[in-house]
Structure 1
Amino acid sequence: MDEEEKRITLRLPVELHAWLAAEAKSARRSLNSEIVHRLEAERGGASPGK
């Protein structure tokens, strides 16, 4: 794991998990990458160094 990353445990409602997983699959991303992508988009851009 990159030293600039932090591992967390996340609990999601089943319906939200299913929706995110489907969105990730259609975008050809992992579930983790989909969540990061959406969070970065919501905050207004990519994290520093990316």
Structure 2
Amino acid sequence: MDEDKRITLRLPTDLHEWLATQAKSARRSLNSEIVHRLEVERDAAMADAESPSPRFGSSCPAPQESDSSPT
């Protein structure tokens, strides 16, 4: 990061606890964990925007149920 910005972030308690647990298991600070997750999502969003095919909601038809009703 070239320049850091400070923000105040309000999180629900359960989300804060989950993120703190994830950060600890990844041996990162809570701040680093949040930044890491945001960067991963940003990179995925940018890759999706550049991709010629959509990530979700493709034009392939949904699988149909087979007619295996008992006779």
TM-score, normalization by structure 1 = 0.82
Give me the whole-angstrom Cα distance separating, in 2, the residues matched to 1:9 and 1:21: 16
* Aligned sequence identity (%): 75
Tell me the equivalent position of 1:41. Answer: 40
Q: Which runs of 5+ in 2 are unaligned?
A: 45-71
Higher Cα Rg, which structure: 2
TM-score, normalization by structure 2 = 0.58
* SS class of match (1:42): helix
Instruction: Between the two structures, name the one with larger relative contact order (CA 8 Å, sep ≥ 6).
Output: 1
What one-letter code is carried by the residue in structure 2 that aligns with 1:12? L
Alpha-carbon shift at residue 37 of structure 1 (Å) = 0.1
Q: Which runs of 5+ in 1 are unaligned?
A: 46-50
Tell me the equivalent position of 2:14. Answer: 15
Distance 1:38 1:4, change over 3 A: same
Instruction: Give every structure 1 segment of 4 or more consecutive aligned residues whose post-TM-superposition deviation is greater than 2 Å.
Output: none
Alpha-carbon shift at residue 39 of structure 1 (Å) = 0.0
What one-letter code is carried by the residue in structure 1 that aligns with 2:27? R
